[in-house]
Amino acid sequence: MNGIKSCFRFLINTNILASFCVSSLALSSELLFYSSNYQISKFVFFATLFTYNFQRIVRIKKGIAHKRKQWTLNNLNLVYSLIVIGTIGSFYHFFLFNRNTQILIFITGIVSILYPLGLRKIPFCKIFIISFTWTISTMILLISENNILINTNTYLHLISRFLFVLAITIPFDIRDIKYDHVKLKTIPIIVGITKAKAIAIIALFALQLVSTYQFLNYNLNFGYFIAIILACLFSAIIIRKSEERKSDFFFSFWVESLSIVFYLFLAITTLFF
């Protein structure tokens, strides 16, 4: 059991788990749009591996408190190696995409690099920047690369993705209250932990309403509809349990893995519907 937990700790500390989570959301978009492009999910994996480790190094170099600061300092060679791997993997796939997709990647790349350098300090913007970049990375890149028709249903999918990412990001702001300066103006700092969790659950409820509308008016697959409802309910349970006193493992594994859970629910329903 300790060996398994140590393995998960390694995946968490190296941001490999986070990379799988973001690429899982990209794969879920392929299911929802019935349009495959594994180059997108592979690019997202490597880009996340680079971005998350790069941001951690920047925060530590700037002297900003971080829950994994000591682990990072003890494993700098490994972290820098992961940044290199992420860079190589990202650039390899980048040149396989069309021009419009490359422009989108360039925009999100600039935002991701500037995020630890100052963007995250803009009041009220932190969670919306994350939700915005994740929505582009896990859905809009696929729409662009596969030339998916943009219509009302497409916009509804984008709204749903934004709401889901916003909801599952709030628990991390709850965890980071002791690290985030009050000037960051994160949702938990502004309204408190209880109301912040309520906002996250309201976002999930809104997502379910959007999905219900798609099911009734845009032929959203019944299995996917049920999967989305179940994923939202499971996510709401985890979010309700989110407290500042919870262990880092709770947030870094259970909350982080909600993206994988979302994909798994969708994938499982393909076996029955």
pLDDT in tens, the chain (273 residues): 567 778 888 999 999 999 999 999 999 999 999 999 999 999 999 999 999 999 889 888 776 656 677 888 889 999 999 999 999 999 999 999 999 999 999 999 998 888 877 777 776 678 888 999 999 999 999 999 999 999 999 999 999 999 999 999 999 888 888 766 656 678 888 889 999 999 999 999 999 999 999 999 998 999 999 999 999 999 999 999 998 778 888 888 899 999 999 999 999 998 887
d(CA 244, CA 171): 9
CB contact set of 7 (below 8 Å; sequence gap of 6+): none
d(CA 171, CA 246): 11
What is the DSSP track for 55-111?
A: HHHHHHHTT---TTHHHHHHTHHHHHHHHHHHHHHHHHHHTTS-HHHHHHHHHHHHH
Sorted by where each begins, the domain ranges of the chain are: 2-269
Q: What pLDDT, on the 0 to 100 scale, is given for residue 266?
A: 96
Which CATH number is 2-269 given? 1.10.600
